[in-house]
Amino acid sequence: MKRRKFICSTAIGLTGIGITSSCNIVDNKPASKKATNQSLKEVPEYRKHIKSSFAPGNSKGANDKVIVGIIGLGSWGTNLIIEATKADENIFVKYACDVDDTKGGRAVSELEKIQNFKPIRVRDMRRIFDDKEVDAVFIETPEHWHALATIWACQAGKDVYVEKCVSHNIFEGQQMIQAAMKYERIIQCGTQNRSADYAYTARDYIKSGELGEIVAVHVRGLFPGPLNFSEKDNTEAPDTIDWDMWLGPAPKVPYNITRNKDWLSFWEYGGGNAMANECTHELDLARLVLDNPGFPKSVYCTGSNYFNPSREIPDYQLATFDYGNFILTLETGECMPYMQKSNAIVRFSDAFPEWMQNATRIQILGSKKMMYVGRMGGGWQVYDKEGELVAQEPGYYPLLPHIKNYFDSVRTRNQPNSNIIEGHKSAIMIHLANLSYRADNAKLLFSPETESISNDDKAFLLSQPSYRNGFEITKNI
């Protein structure tokens, strides 16, 4: 197939938006745990306020400086902010924030070389939000901080790039959209495949009818392992970390190095490395190439901690989403040493993955042909019933285009490729899979109109947010 480029539409549709537990919030207080899903009958408030673009009054020219802060200086946050300086030469990183003083040394030193200015180190992100000179922030914190940090940033007039999984529960995603629309702030989600050209050629190939009717979609994120998990004893927090700020909205607990360094193994802080941190990418890409279908009628998830029974997050999960006219399965795990992500050769050249043992492939089964899609530069290939390759498109790692798209949106006030509405749609599918697993592998039924679970009170109660004083996310933002 001849390679072509397609323009991504930034229009935002509401068809089939949302399917999961909406948190019952009264005024500005989280709902009581005694609430049931039967009390959720209203369409989420944010849908009344959707905008495809914002007022041009805050737009900037291509040569205008964009003043930036980076929040979260782990290995990925460090890599991201350095890459950002390559994506747009007219950005200036004024702040580098992390609650842990031992992190971010490389980021600060590299940024000082690049811009001849040493970013100001701060522990409290609110220092950045208080600076009216700052235009935009990158939020690279643990997952349980994503929503509140994003909302605070929007309230302070900052545009946001927020890492996936964008929210920790369904209500948070709704409120992030509400904040974006109310304060007219750009929110780009860290699902970079929406800035990959090949994702749109795959979508258009499917829309052409060449695959036939879509029967099944298999999304997988199967990563090397098994992992060794052992929770250490609680200790006093070291002086190098503000543990209270690290916990933020999460319950107050003593310092524990395992929770600090391996937070993705605890439900309080995230939805799991394989499921929420990794497979959000594949799931979001699958949704895109399927032309962003409406949400499923039901979700069922099973799994187990085969190798780490003391860990909350399972070693393996398999979720099934019923869309009525096709089935989507999402398979995740961290116990497959023979599975590997696409390497640099695949990501930065015209090469394709070895699909059989590719850790992050998407397989789309049509009534005529089948398609493989790879994330982060894997491209796509189509095979017929004879096993012959009949169409293909190579792909390239889309991080730099994704960051560039963020800054283009900051300047133009147009919605970015991976806007918060699409981020919310993908995130709630992750949340639903985890809710089904945690509710004793219950099959969950959903109302697309109210984004609520209609048949399982245990899953509903598990979905309810609970925030510490001073770190609340309320209905009225």
- Total domains in the fold of the chain: 1
Q: Mean pLDDT, to the nearest integer, of 238-262?
A: 98
In a domain, 90, yes or no: no
Domain presence at residue 474: yes
> How many Å is the Cα radius of gyration of the chain?
21
Mean pLDDT of the 251-267 span: 98
Least confident of 18-27, 28-37, 68-77, 395-404: 18-27
d(CA 124, CA 99): 7
Model-level pTM? 0.92
Task: Could you list the beta-strand ranges (E) of 242-374.
Answer: 298-304, 316-322, 327-333, 361-366, 370-374
13 in a structural domain: yes
Cis peptide before 165 (omega within 30 of 0): yes
CATH code of the domain in which 390 resides: 3.30.360.10
- Helix, strand, or coil (residue 47): helix
Report the candidate in 40, 300, 356 with the shortest Cα–Cα distance to residue 174. Answer: 40
What range defines the domain where residue 449 resides? Answer: 1-48+194-477
Q: Where are the alpha helices (DSSP H) in 70-225?
A: 75-87, 105-115, 126-129, 146-155, 170-183, 197-207
* Position with higher pLDDT, 296 vs 31: 296
Q: Is residue 403 part of a domain?
A: yes
Residue 102 lies in a domain: no
Where does 240-398 show beta strands of DSSP type E?
A: 298-304, 316-322, 327-333, 361-366, 370-374, 380-383, 389-393
- Residue 1 falls within a domain, yes or no? yes
pLDDT at residue 448, as a whole number: 83
- Summarize pLDDT for 309-320 with one digit per residue, the tens: 999 999 999 999
Query: What integer is the mean pLDDT of 266-292?
Result: 97
Eight-state DSSP code of residue 273: I
Span 114-128, average pLDDT: 98
Instruction: Report if residue 57 sits inside a domain.
Output: no
pLDDT digits (tens, 9 = 90+) for 281-330: 999 999 999 999 878 889 999 999 999 999 999 999 999 999 999 999 99
Span 157-173, pLDDT tens digits: 999 999 999 999 999 99
Domain contains 76: no
- Find, among 386, 397, 387, the residue nearest to 355 by Cα: 387
Cα gap 435→144, rounded to integer Å:
16
Locate 454 and state its tokens: 């209609």
Range 14-33 average pLDDT: 38
